[in-house]
């Protein structure tokens, strides 16, 4: 039985997965999950499209590519075991122009290198067979791309670990970390009261606040989180069945996001989105409540202005879709013409915790910073949720080597 005590900052899907992995590898350990919100899955986990990414776009050999592929299998098996909705609805990445055809072929090559099963390139007739209401010149078909309820998965994992003896501290914001000697002392603000918690080791999975929490533990200034919001709209009920699965555009190499796409959800709704634009607040989900601290943090960042200067054209285009829902929907109608003049209703925004380096480059791969007895996950954007259980394996497996837990106290790992 383990005598260690572990703290986990963040009760999103990755934090929940880390707590579960710690419990499995260290039976009897004291595990405490610290979450500043009043409920679990309150941020990125509860504000996304619910797509389980197959691993199409990622650089072969990268941590993101490897953990995404491992994560898909783990997530599917866990969802089935816990009766969380999971559906392999399939996905098309559709080229509309000759130029985009070349980019689709490049994505296909990456997908094959990453081991994505059963992917193929298909022409207009095959596109119509799979999605009768979709059009395109060439498409990559990923039949096993799935959709899921990520918040439901998170709640299931939190229930599992708390039933196993872990503590869950809600309404507890981390405001200080003493990371020296043989323990970590974490200071939290809980309902206006300052409280201290001692742990042998701490794992930070703080999402939108990951850079700030890491810096409390002595982490580097960069990568810094720059928040980008994604606005989705829910199509009217008569449009719910316009597609059988997911239809995506070919990513624009001049802008580091996937573009407006059509996404089926496990509850039967059909979503259009998201656009991608700078969010004036890391947790500004409704769009009207500007976070002054977060906004100033971006405004006074030289790195952000370096990024902005190189992406101005794409930003202007995205802004048009932000202010005009008609233009927003027109982007999706290019792939499914029956959506012309369709009715839709905006839903709560998602906000992407995107890490940026000091040169104004968006960090593509997952980033882990090890700081004495603290392990901080500094960047885990999409496919972070897909990869959550594999990220947890990776973090906890390397805890022994990085934080000098003796090897004979770590159970063997079956992770890739």
Q: How far apart are CA 396 and CA 181, in angstroms?
A: 21
- pLDDT reported for residue 258: 66
- pLDDT reported for residue 257: 66
- pLDDT reported for residue 18: 98
Cis peptide before 223 (omega within 30 of 0): yes
Cis peptide before 274 (omega within 30 of 0): yes
Residue 149 has pLDDT above 90, yes or no: yes
Highest mean pLDDT out of 100-109, 249-258, 272-281 = 100-109
Taking alpha carbons only, the member of 43, 15, 380 closest to residue 211 is: 380
Q: How far apart are CA 248 and CA 244, in angstroms?
A: 13
User: Domains of the chain (ranges plus CATH)?
Assistant: 5-45+151-223+365-409 (3.50.50.60), 91-143 (no CATH), 224-362 (3.30.9)
- pLDDT reported for residue 349: 81
Residue 57 DSSP symbol: S
Chain mean pLDDT for the chain: 89
- pLDDT reported for residue 180: 83
Residue 62 has pLDDT above 80, yes or no: yes
DSSP H or E stretch at residue 278: strand 277-278
String of DSSP letters for 215-268: HHTT--S-SEEEEEEE--EEEPGGGTTS-SSEEEEPPPTTSSS--SEEEE-TTS
Q: How far apart are CA 93 and CA 287, in angstroms?
A: 29
Cis peptide before 35 (omega within 30 of 0): no
| Least confident residue range of 22-36, 230-244, 249-263 | 249-263
Task: Work out the angle at residue 16's Cα, subtended by the Cα atoms of residues 376 and 194, and round it to the nearest 5 degrees.
Answer: 65
**Between the CA of residue 49 and those of 17, 26, 111, 383, 414, what are the distances in Å?**
19, 33, 21, 12, 30
| Least confident residue range of 186-195, 212-221, 344-353 | 344-353
Residue 320 has pLDDT above 50, yes or no: no
**Between the CA of residue 132 and those of 239, 241, 244, 336, 400, what are the distances in Å?**
14, 11, 9, 9, 52
- pLDDT reported for residue 191: 87
String of DSSP letters for 165-227: T-EEE-SEEEEEEEEETTEEEEEEEETTEEEEEEESEEEE--GGGHHHHHHHTT--S-SEEEE
Higher pLDDT, 360 or 389: 389
- What are the tokens at 290? 């500007």
Q: Residue 403 — very low, low, confident or very high, per pLDDT cuts 50/70/90?
A: very low
Cross-strand pairs, 354: 226
| Least confident residue range of 111-115, 118-122, 313-317, 328-332 | 313-317
- Taking the CA atoms of residue 47, residue 389, residue 225 and residue 294 in that order, the dihedral angle to the nearest 10 degrees is 40
């Amino acid at each position: 039985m383990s005598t260690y005590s572990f703290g986990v900052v963040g009760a999103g899907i990755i934090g929940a997965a880390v707590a579960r992995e710690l419990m499995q590898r260290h039976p009897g350990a004291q595990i405490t999950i610290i979450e500043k919100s009043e409920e679990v899955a309150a941020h990125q986990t509860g504000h996304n499209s619910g797509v389980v990414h197959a691993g199409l776009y990622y650089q072969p050999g990268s941590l993101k590519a490897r953990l995404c592929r491992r994560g898909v299998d783990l997530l599917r098996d866990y969802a089935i075991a816990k009766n969380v909705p999971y559906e392999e609805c399939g996905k098309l990445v559709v080229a509309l122009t000759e130029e985009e055809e070349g980019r689709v072929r490049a994505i296909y090559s990456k997908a094959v290198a990453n081991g994505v099963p059963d992917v193929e390139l298909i022409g207009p007739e095959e596109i119509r067979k799979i999605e009768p209401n979709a059009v395109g010149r060439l498409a990559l078909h990923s039949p096993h791309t799935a959709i899921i309820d990520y918040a439901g998965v998170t709640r299931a994992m939190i229930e599992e670990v708390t039933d196993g003896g872990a503590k869950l501290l809600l309404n507890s914001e981390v405001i200080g970390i003493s990371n020296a000697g043989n323990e970590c002392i974490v200071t939290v603000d809980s309902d206006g009261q300052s409280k201290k918690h001692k742990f042998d080791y701490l794992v930070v999975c703080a999402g939108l606040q990951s850079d700030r929490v890491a810096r409390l533990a002595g982490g580097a200034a960069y990568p810094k989180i720059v928040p980008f919001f994604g606005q989705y709209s829910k199509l009217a009920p008569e449009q719910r069945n316009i597609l059988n699965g997911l239809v995506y555009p070919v990513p624009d190499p001049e802008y580091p996001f996937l573009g407006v796409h059509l996404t089926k959800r496990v509850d039967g709704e059909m979503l259009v989105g998201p656009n991608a634009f700078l969010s004036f607040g890391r947790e500004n989900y409704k769009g009207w409540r500007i976070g002054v601290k977060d906004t100033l943090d971006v405004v006074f960042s030289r790195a952000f202005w370096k990024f902005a200067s190189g992406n101005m054209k794409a930003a202007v285009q995205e802004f048009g879709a932000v202010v005009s829902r008609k233009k927003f929907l027109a982007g999706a109608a290019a792939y499914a013409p029956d959506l012309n003049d369709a009715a839709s209703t905006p839903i709560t925004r998602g906000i992407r915790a995107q890490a940026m380096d000091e040169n104004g480059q968006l960090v593509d791969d997952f980033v882990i910073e090890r700081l004495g007895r603290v392990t901080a996950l500094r960047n885990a954007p999409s496919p972070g949720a897909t990869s959550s259980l594999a990220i947890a394996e990776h973090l906890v497996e390397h805890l022994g080597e990085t934080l000098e837990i003796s090897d004979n106290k770590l159970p063997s790992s079956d992770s890739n």
